[in-house]
């Protein structure tokens, strides 16, 4: 694409129309730009348009965004591959890349701030792939422009543009593992940029000091402060892996500047609406200081005491100020790090410890207005932070971590202080409970946060408080409150306390409060009824010594009808229609309780109604999964006791399952197939006719195109094959089933599922039915062995052959082999079976292959011939290894290599329903021990007792296995 006036005019119109509020011109413009992007030099043409004066900033802004996205898609498209079957866009030609890299820096620095930010992001996209090794000109170019901006009277708009770009480029040093390549890249960046940056930092500090002393305006000081913040972020990147010599040698100058920025007030900025700018610089400094305390104790040791006082004083001011969370959190993290380090904990005297408790911890653990807003308007996020531990970067959590930190070395001093803090909070609440309830909430939060719960009990700060007493006096009254909707945040804290300490509280205390918790399921607050459900879910998992469940079906039986009713009512509250915590509780409860037929009917009806609703628009995958698990566990537990109620579940579920399949609710396909498999397996042959419509659907090839659906489809197909084998002989059904097997076999993602189908056919049908198909099946397997042999495929092949032997006899397998190619059995044994037999895993699979191998060893004439003695010996060696050594000693780990060659679109990983019973597929229930079977078979081998095989064994069986075989003989003989 030539950068002619006509091209620029065309692009200008396209970008203008791309901003149109009308759909059609916007769609056409986007399509035209997509076609243009396929042409060489498109990126250069867009850069030229951005640089052209008089175009209009809106068009230039749209062009800059487009250019950034163009680079993201095409600079290194192979690196962005996420969907294996989506074609990659054409990469930008190398010549065009070279020109873009030559011009982008200057254009970025000459642009307005909005366009500069887009071009800076575009530059970082290039840098992610090319910097520094394939773009060695970049740092010298940035350095040169930095010096130029300084000599031009301090052009801090350009300076900050350069620093912002450099900061983004250098971020990789903060997170990357310290490999040699990363260290070489870091050394290159330090050599080219560290000195100029330290000089710029000192120069800007002096300009800032003179500006402050002369009363400069906030507008003049603002770019200087932003420059210092960006320098600090780059310093953090440069120092993250280790302290470079340059920074250690020049620590005094910039450390002194850090101290000044932490301790000095700047009224022009702080009172002029730029408090956040000042706080962001201080936060960046605190992050560097924390890094130095953690990583470089010795060089920084002499400064720690000074900075601890500075940061503590800063925190006392910041802790009571709203909207300054970022600074507060980073400052608290610095204090926490200092408090836990052995070299520095002595910095804290009694006065400073008391000051930390009263002036830093208490203000920061108090609920804030934004916490209340989150509680009310985004209950899911509130629960994630408060109950699930994603609040690591909140002031509340940081303050508690600081308290834990100072308790590391001052437990005896801190314990009474913590107790005083808690008692002060409770006393404040008691003065006016309606007005001061937040103090009680904070006291509960402190107790929860400071208690590290272990398997043997809570490790609470010694002497702080008595858990049972605190629970009885402070928490229980909140749970016994008759108004479940009053002070909801306080109720949430009490329910959280009950959940966190469910292991430590006596069963009698918990059971006495269970009726109270049931009432909270009817609370209007989404958080409250969610916390009540979470508690019930968690308490049913509590184990006593020996792994025995503490709470069993008889404990919850008196409450079961009300409990289930209240849970389903909770799902009717606004925004809780798909409440994952409530549905998980229903699932857990159904897994523990003894559910009667009447209760089961009510539950099934309620869940079917919910399922019909979510089918219309599946939104919450976690809720949906627990919904299907709840259905599965209800079916499993009720039908296991009373198979006659299967029809009840069929009546409730079939309409929903038909809706899923007919309306193509693809998110639910795997779940639907698993539930159908469960229902099929619970029936008794012959299957009711209404199941056969699903069997006909199952044979449609289009249903098998998504690999994520395949395990569930195979599970359902296996269920039909086992429960309705006679139907396979009607209307060519077996041919259709084997076509499915053939479709699954070529891909390493679905090869194991192909064998599941094949094995079920072998296991469910008589040999007279499958005999005509067996040679064709073997040809397909031999072909796959030659073209794409994987360890998993070979293991599956051995298991398949073993199953044919134990179900239909080794002679039929040998006959099928000979029909493909006479004498090929010995080759298969020598090349594949013998070397890989020891790789078989799983108790059932191990027994199956060991028994089948033993049958061949002791009964197959081809193996018993003298000329086959070497293969015979090697096979015995493999059998002994298989049956005498644990899996971890004989199985080699292998990395799973994804297969991107399969047909069909990308989809998420299959999710198994835990509560759908896994069938017992042991085809050898009559054989308990494969070792005994091996010895009995060897004894029955007529030539074995004559000693004919003694030399064969000594030559081909590993000495350790010879010893194991002798040990087996002696053990079983004496037994």
What is 111-163 written as a DSSP string?
S-HHHHHHHHHHHHHHHHHHTTTT-TTHHHHHHHHHHHHHHTT--HHHHHHHH
Query: Are the C-beta atoms of 264 and 205 separated by less than 8 Å?
Result: no
pLDDT at residue 87 in the model: 64
- Are 123 and 104 in contact, with CB atoms under 8 Å apart? yes
For residue 635, the model assigns a pLDDT of 92
Give residue 391's pLDDT: 64
Q: What is the DSSP letter of 549?
A: B
Q: Report yes or no: 460 and 474 within 8 Å, Cβ to Cβ.
A: no
Phi, psi at residue 620, to the nearest 5°?
-110, 100
**Hey, what are 288's tokens?**
């560097």
Contact status, residue 486 vs residue 526, Cβ threshold 8 Å = no
User: Cβ distance 514 to 476 under 8 Å?
Assistant: no
Per-residue exposure over 142-168, b if at least 16 CB sit within 10 Å of its own CB, e if not: bbebbeebbeeeebbebbbbbbbbbbb
55 to 13, 25, 58, 103: CA distances (angstroms): 10, 20, 8, 19
- Cβ proximity of 61 and 115 under 8 Å: yes
Q: How many whole angstroms separate alpha carbon 713 and alpha carbon 945?
A: 50
With 0-12 CB in 10 A as exposed, 13-18 as middle and 19+ as buried, what is 803? Answer: buried
Distances (CA, A) of 69 to 34, 43, 118, 125: 11, 10, 10, 9
CA 962-963-969 angle, to 5 degrees, is 90
**Closest listed residue to residue 815, CA positions, set 777, 853, 771:** 771
Q: How far apart are CA 14 and CA 25, in angstroms?
A: 9
| CA–CA separation, 380 and 402 (whole Å) | 27
Helices then strands, counting H and E runs in the chain, come out as: 53, 2
Reduced to 3 states (helix: H, G, I; strand: E, B; else coil), residue 507 is: helix
- Please tell me the predicted confidence (pLDDT) of residue 895: 40
Q: What angle do CA 910, 913, 917 make, to 5 degrees?
A: 130
**CA 745/CA 728 separation, integer angstroms:** 21
Two tokens, residue 153? 């009277």
- Decide if 761 contacts 770 (C-beta within 8 A): yes
Task: Give every residue of the chain whose pLDDT is below 70, as ranges.
Answer: 79-87, 297, 345, 390-392, 452-465, 893-910, 917-920, 942-947, 972-975
Question: What values do phi and psi take at 903, rounded to 5?
Answer: -85, 165
From 793, 834, 800, select the one nearest 817 (Cα to Cα): 800
Task: Give the C-alpha separation, 626 to 582, whole Å.
Answer: 9
Pairwise CA distance, residues 146 & 192, whole Å: 12
CB 401 within 8 A of CB 416: no
Residue whose pair of structure tokens reads 């928490």 in the numeric block:
475
- Residue 464 is predicted with a pLDDT of 63
CA 204 – CA 318 distance, rounded (Å): 26
Residue with tokens 């720690």: 304
H-state helical runs in 521-552? 526-539
Q: List, in order, residues 6 or more apart from 52 with CB less than 8 Å away.
A: 8
Residue 457 in 3-state DSSP? strand
The 10s digit of each residue's pLDDT in 154-187 is 899 999 999 999 999 999 999 777 788 999 999 9
3-state secondary structure of 902: coil
Residue 170, strand partner residues: none
How far apart, in whole angstroms, are the C-alpha atoms of residue 783 and residue 785? 5
Distance CA 309, CA 418 (A): 21
């Amino acid at each position: 694409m030539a950068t002619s006036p006509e091209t620029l005019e065309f692009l200008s119109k396209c970008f203008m129309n791309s901003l149109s509020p009308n759909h059609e011109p916007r769609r056409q413009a986007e399509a035209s730009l997509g076609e243009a992007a396929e042409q060489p030099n498109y990126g250069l043409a867009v850069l030229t348009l951005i640089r052209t004066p008089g175009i209009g900033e809106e068009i230039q802004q749209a062009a800059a965004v487009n250019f950034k996205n163009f680079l993201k898609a095409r600079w290194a498209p192979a690196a962005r591959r996420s969907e294996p079957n989506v074609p990659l866009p054409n990469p930008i030609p190398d010549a065009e890349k070279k020109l873009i890299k030559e011009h982008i820096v200057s254009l970025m620095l000459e642009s307005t701030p909005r366009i500069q930010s887009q071009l800076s992001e575009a530059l970082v996209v290039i840098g992610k792939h090319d910097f520094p090794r394939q773009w060695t000109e970049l740092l010298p170019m940035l350095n040169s422009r930095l010096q130029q901006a300084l000599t031009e009277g301090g052009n801090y708009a350009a300076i900050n543009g350069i620093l912002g770009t450099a900061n983004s480029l250098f971020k990789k040093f903060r997170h990357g593992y310290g490999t040699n390549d990363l260290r070489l890249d870091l050394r290159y960046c330090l050599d080219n940029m560290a000195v100029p940056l330290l000089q710029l930092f000192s120069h800007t500090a002096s300009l800032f000091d003179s500006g402050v002393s002369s009363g400069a305006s906030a507008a003049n000081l603002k770019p200087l402060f932003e420059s210092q913040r960006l320098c600090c972020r780059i310093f953090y990147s440069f120092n993250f892996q280790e302290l470079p010599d340059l920074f250690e040698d020049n620590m005094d100058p910039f450390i002194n500047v850090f101290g000044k920025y932490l301790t000095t007030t700047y009224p022009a900025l702080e009172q002029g609406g730029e408090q956040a700018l000042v706080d962001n610089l201080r936060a960046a400094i605190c992050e560097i200081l924390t890094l130095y305390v953690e990583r470089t104790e010795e060089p920084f040791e002499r400064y720690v005491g000074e900075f601890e006082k500075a940061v503590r004083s800063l925190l006392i001011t910041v802790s009571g100020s709203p909207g300054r969370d970022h600074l507060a959190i980073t400052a608290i993290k610095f204090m926490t790090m200092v408090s836990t380090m052995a070299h520095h904990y002595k910095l804290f005297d009694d006065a400073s410890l008391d000051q930390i408790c009263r002036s830093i911890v208490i203000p920061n653990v108090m609920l804030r207005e934004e916490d209340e807003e989150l509680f009310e308007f985004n209950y899911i996020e509130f629960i994630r932070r408060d109950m699930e531990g994603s609040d690591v970067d909140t002031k509340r959590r940081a303050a508690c971590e600081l308290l834990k930190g100072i308790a590391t070395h001052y437990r005896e001093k801190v314990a009474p202080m913590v107790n005083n803090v808690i008692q002060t909070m409770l006393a404040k609440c008691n003065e006016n409970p309606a007005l001061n309830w937040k103090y009680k909430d904070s006291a509960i939060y402190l107790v929860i946060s400071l208690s590290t719960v272990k398997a043997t009990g809570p490790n609470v700060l010694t002497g702080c408080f008595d858990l049972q007493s605190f629970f009885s006096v402070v928490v229980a009254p909140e749970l016994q409150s008759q108004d479940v909707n009053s002070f909801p945040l306080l109720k949430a804290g009490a329910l959280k306390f009950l959940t966190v300490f469910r292991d430590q509280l006596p069963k009698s205390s918990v059971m006495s409060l269970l009726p109270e918790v049931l009432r909270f399921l009817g609370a209007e607050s989404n958080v409250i009824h969610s916390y009540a459900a979470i508690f019930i879910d968690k308490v049913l998992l509590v184990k006593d010594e020996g792994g025995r469940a503490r709470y069993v079906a008889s404990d919850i039986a008196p409450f079961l009808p009300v409990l289930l009713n209240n849970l389903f009512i909770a799902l009717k509250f606004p925004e809780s229609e798909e409440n994952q915590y409530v549905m998980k509780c229903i699932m857990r409860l159904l897994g523990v309780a003894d559910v009667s037929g009447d209760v089961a009917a009510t539950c099934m009806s309620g869940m079917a109604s919910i399922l019909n609703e979510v089918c219309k628009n599946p939104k919450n995958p976690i809720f949906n999964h627990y919904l299907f698990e709840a259905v599965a566990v209800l079916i499993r537990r009720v039908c296991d006791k009373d198979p006659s109620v299967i029809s009840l579940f069929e009546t409730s579920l079939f309409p929903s399952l038909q809706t899923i399949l007919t309306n193509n609710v693809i998110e639910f396909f795997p779940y639907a197939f698993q539930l159908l498999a469960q229902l099929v397996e619970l029936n008794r042959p012959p299957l009711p006719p209404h199941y056969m419509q699903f069997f006909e659907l199952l044979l449609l090839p289009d249903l098998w195109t998504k690999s994520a659906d395949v395990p569930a489809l195979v599970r359902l197909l296996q269920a039909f094959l086992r429960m309705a084998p006679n139907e396979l002989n009607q209307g060519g059904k077996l041919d259709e089933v084997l076509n499915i097997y053939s479709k699954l076999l070529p891909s390493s993602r679905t090869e194991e599922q192909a064998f599941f189908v094949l094995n079920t056919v072998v296991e469910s049908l008589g040999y007279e039915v499958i005999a005509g198909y067996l040679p064709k099946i073997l040809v397909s397997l031999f072909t796959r062995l030659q073209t794409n042999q994987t360890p998993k495929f070979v293991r599956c092949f051995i298991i398949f052959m073993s199953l044919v032997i134990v179900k239909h006899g080794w002679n039929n397998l040998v006959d099928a082999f000979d029909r493909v190619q006479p004498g090929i059995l010995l080759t298969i044994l020598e090349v594949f079976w013998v070397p890989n037999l020891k790789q078989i895993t799983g108790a059932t699979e191990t027994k199956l292959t060991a028994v089948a191998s033993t049958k061949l060893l002791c009964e197959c004439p081809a193996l018993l011939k003298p000329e086959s003695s070497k293969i015979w010996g090697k096979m015995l060696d493999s059998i002994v290894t298989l049956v005498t050594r644990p899996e971890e000693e004989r199985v080699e780990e292998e990395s799973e290599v994804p297969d991107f060659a399969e047909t069909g679109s990308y989809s998420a990983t299959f999710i198994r329903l835990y509560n759908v019973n896994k069938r017992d597929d042991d085809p050898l229930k009559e054989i308990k021990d494969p070792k005994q079977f091996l010895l009995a078979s060897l004894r029955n081998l007529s030539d074995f007792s004559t000693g004919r095989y003694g030399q064969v064994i000594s030559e081909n069986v590993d000495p350790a296995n010879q010893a194991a075989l002798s040990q087996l003989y002696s053990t079983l003989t004496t037994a």
